[in-house]
């Protein structure tokens, strides 16, 4: 049995969805060896242990044809994909031009139809995909109801973490020294993209928290923004007169994210309440934060509650800067609680490694 993970991405370890694909691919490769392939548009990652195939095209209808030829020539029988339109064309071409059966697995990350074409694509996939992987239970439930697919074809599998990267032996002081961050400040940190699909991920509220707490010894550090996002939030910090308490940085590698997380007194993920954040997301930062052994302050959303709870994090009401400020104060002042929740979070994250996730998926699709 052979499996190819079909993508149209430019593979990089600086973007969350790319990092997710890369982490999954590494574990597929370890489990399946020469019988696994990762297809990409192109890559800037030099990993000779990973069987990467560059197709040098990102248009779904063209790329899918290149995949079909590769699948035929290499006698691949299992197709794994998280891109709806790409998978649509691969299935369509396979029905038209291939004489052997393929097993299709679709990893679903959202439930938005931007237009009628997306709706038709999703209905097509609901009919012809063999297995569905969902990153949250809420997402699975809604998809099952809308498209009337059998639960036996579905697996709920949240995202994960590489503990070798994020469980590093580095003190808070050592991390701050590496990063040039002050030793005498209380530092609250957010890592990852600042926006998803143009939607704020809670940084607006964090900047307001700096006004509410009004402590010159408090510093907010965020890492992972695009240039436009850095400009936007720096401007907002200036408007709120909190610019002296804010340091914003652009995208970086996972290795560096792990160091930033170790430098924190508290790690933040105060997502607003909207449909995507509340029901569909499985943020990588959640599992990375759990591995860092630093206290987590997170929004009380159904998607978050599938993993976090009052025993492993500080849960606050979304879109309430006053509640977020209370959570920050607890994280900075209640050492006994911090010790309890960080130990529990680290124990819990052992269930959410990429290795375990890939093993569960392969067992589910019966590929090994």
pLDDT tens for 271-295 read 999 999 999 999 999 999 999 999 9
pLDDT above 70 (res 160): yes
**For the chain, what is the mean pLDDT?**
94
Q: Give the pLDDT band of residue 341 (cuts 50, 70, 90).
A: very high
State the pLDDT at residue 368: 47
| Enclosing H/E stretch for 278 | none
Q: What is the pLDDT of residues 200-227, one digit of tens each?
A: 999 999 999 999 999 999 999 999 999 9
pLDDT tens digits, 162-171: 999 999 999 9
CATH code given to domain 3-160+353-365: 3.40.50.2000
| pLDDT digit string, tens, across residues 174-189 | 999 999 999 999 999 9
Q: Do domains 3-160+353-365 and 163-349 have the same CATH topology?
A: yes
* Total-model pTM: 0.94
- 125-153 pLDDT, tens digit each: 999 999 999 999 999 999 999 999 999 99
Gyration radius of the chain over CA positions: 21
Residue that wins the pLDDT comparison between 111 and 27 = 27
- Mind listing the pLDDT tens digit for each residue in 35-47? 999 999 988 777 7
At residue 112, does pLDDT exceed 80? no
Class of domain 163-349: alpha beta
Q: Indicate whether 89 pLDDT > 70.
A: yes
User: Is the Cβ–Cβ distance between 227 and 221 less than 8 Å?
Assistant: no
Q: For the residues 337-361, what does the mean pLDDT come to?
A: 98
How far apart, in whole angstroms, are the C-alpha atoms of residue 71 and residue 77?
8
Task: Report the distance separating Cα 347 and Cα 290, nearest Å.
Answer: 9
Q: Is residue 8 pLDDT above 60, yes or no?
A: yes
CB 182 within 8 Å of CB 245: no
Q: Would you state the pLDDT for residue 45?
A: 73
User: In a 10 Å sphere around its CB, with 0-12 CB exposed, 13-18 middle and 19+ buried, how is residue 336 labelled?
Assistant: exposed
- Which whole number is the average pLDDT over 265-273? 98
Residue spans of the domains in the chain: they are 3-160+353-365, 163-349
Sheet holding 296-299, edge to edge: 246-250, 218-225, 186-191, 266-269, 296-299, 314-316
pLDDT at position 58 is 84
Give residue 16's pLDDT: 57
Residue of higher predicted confidence among 321 and 11: 321
pLDDT computed for residue 17 by the predictor: 60
Give pLDDT, residue 44: 74
């Amino acid at each position: 049995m052979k499996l190819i993970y079909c993508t149209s991405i430019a593979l990089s370890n600086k973007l969350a969805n790319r990092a997710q694909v890369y982490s999954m691919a590494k574990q597929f490769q370890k489990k399946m060896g020469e019988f696994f392939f990762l297809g990409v548009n192109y890559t800037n990652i030099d990993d000779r242990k990973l069987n990467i195939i560059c197709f040098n095209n990102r248009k779904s209808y063209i790329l899918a044809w290149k995949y079909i030829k590769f699948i035929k020539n290499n006698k691949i029988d299992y197709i794994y994909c998280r891109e709806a339109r790409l998978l649509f064309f691969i299935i369509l071409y396979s029905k038209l031009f291939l004489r052997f059966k393929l097993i299709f697995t679709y990893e679903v990350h959202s439930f938005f139809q931007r237009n009628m074409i997306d709706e038709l694509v999703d209905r097509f996939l609901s009919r012809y995909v063999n297995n569905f992987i969902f990153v949250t239970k809420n997402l699975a439930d809604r998809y099952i109801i809308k498209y009337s697919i059998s639960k036996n074809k579905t697996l709920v599998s949240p995202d994960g973490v590489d503990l070798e990267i994020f469980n590093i032996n580095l003190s808070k002081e050592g991390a701050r020294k590496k990063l040039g961050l002050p030793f005498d400040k209380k530092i609250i940190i957010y890592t990852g993209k600042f926006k998803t699909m143009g939607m704020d991920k809670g940084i607006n509220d964090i900047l307001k928290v700096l006004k509410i707490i009004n402590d010159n010894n408090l510093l907010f550090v965020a890492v992972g923004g695009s240039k436009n996002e850095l400009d936007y939030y720096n401007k907002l910090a200036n408007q709120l007169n909190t610019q002296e308490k804010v340091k914003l940085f652009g995208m970086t590698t996972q290795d560096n994210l792990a160091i930033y997380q170790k430098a924190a007194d508290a790690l933040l993920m105060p997502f607003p309440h909207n449909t995507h954040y509340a029901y569909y997301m499985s943020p990588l930062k959640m599992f990375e934060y759990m591995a860092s052994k630093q206290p987590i302050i997170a929004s009380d959303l159904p998607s978050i509650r599938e993993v976090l709870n009052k025993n492993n994090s500080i849960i606050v009401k979304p879109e309430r800067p006053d509640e977020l400020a209370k959570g920050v104060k607890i994280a900075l002042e209640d050492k006994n609680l911090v010790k309890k929740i960080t130990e529990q979070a680290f124990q819990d994250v052992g269930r959410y490694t990429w290795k375990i996730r890939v093993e569960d998926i392969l067992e589910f699709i019966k590929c090994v």
